[in-house]
């Protein structure tokens, strides 16, 4: 059985915690928080084709685009239906996903794979001027496959792909924080 802590020890611990908090507050420490964007409105132009491996899927929304749109909306940025009404546009030039075999088992079955998610984009205004250089994000992940765990490995692959899409969207949102009007 644990003996209760004497009252003076509790008071001393509470006083020390309060002193530490006062020191941190007094030095100006605070969490950085989100960086405000240097624009108020944006037009998002998704690619006409979403490429998967060697095939392109017409009309399919590139999975990274909704994540970028949600991030902008959560930051209070107005999304416009036309580029003429926005400060500038985020134009997705290419969104590409590929899955390659890295190694084979002794029986000739795939054992390891590499997933690649690539996004090419640019920031442009209604007059055709680039706001910075066009960008490209390439994210790669490796994973192993075991036939004895097919369902679990398929779920792992889907989670890896979703994480890659979120990572690409987060990188684009960070780069949007640094974009500047062409001068």
* pLDDT for the residue 48: 63
* pLDDT for the residue 83: 92
CA-CA-CA-CA torsion for 158, 164, 165, 170, nearest 10 degrees?
Answer: 150
User: Phi first, then psi: what are they for 113, rounded to 5°?
Assistant: -130, 160
Rg (alpha carbons) of the chain, rounded to whole number: 24
Domains and CATH numbers, the chain: 37-176 (3.30.160.150)
Check whether 1 has a pLDDT greater than 50: yes
3-state helix, strand, coil in the chain (%, to 5): 35, 30, 35
* pLDDT for the residue 29: 55
Check whether 55 has a pLDDT greater than 50: no
CA–CA distance, 120 with 43 (Å, rounded to integer): 16
CA–CA distance, 89 with 91 (Å, rounded to integer): 6
* pLDDT for the residue 84: 94
Mean pLDDT of the region 43-60:
59
Check whether 56 has a pLDDT greater than 60: no
Which tens digit of pLDDT belongs to each residue from 76-121? Answer: 999 999 999 999 899 999 888 888 988 888 787 878 889 999 999 9
Check: CB of residue 42 under 8 Å from CB of residue 72.
Answer: yes
Check: CB of residue 68 under 8 Å from CB of residue 42.
Answer: no
pLDDT band with cut points at 50, 70 and 90 for residue 28: low
User: Phi first, then psi: what are they for 120, rounded to 5°?
Assistant: -110, 135
């Amino acid at each position: 059985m644990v003996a209760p802590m004497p009252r003076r020890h509790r008071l001393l611990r509470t006083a020390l915690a309060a002193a530490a908090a006062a020191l941190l507050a007094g030095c100006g420490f605070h969490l950085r928080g989100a960086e405000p964007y240097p624009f108020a409105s944006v037009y998002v132009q998704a690619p006409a084709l979403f490429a998967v491996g060697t095939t392109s899927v017409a009309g399919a929304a590139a999975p990274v685009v909704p994540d970028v749109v949600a991030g902008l909306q959560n930051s209070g940025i107005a999304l416009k239906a036309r580029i003429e009404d926005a400060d500038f546009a985020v134009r997705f030039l290419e969104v590409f996903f590929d899955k390659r075999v890295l190694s084979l088992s002794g029986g000739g079955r795939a054992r390891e794979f590499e997933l690649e998610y690539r996004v090419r984009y640019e920031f442009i205004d209604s007059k055709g001027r680039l706001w910075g250089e066009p960008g490209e994000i390439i994210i790669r992940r490796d994973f192993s496959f075991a036939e004895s765990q097919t369902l679990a490995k398929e779920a792992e692959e889907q989670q890896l792909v979703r994480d890659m899409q979120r990572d690409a969207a987060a990188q684009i949102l960070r780069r949007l924080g640094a974009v500047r009007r062409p001068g």
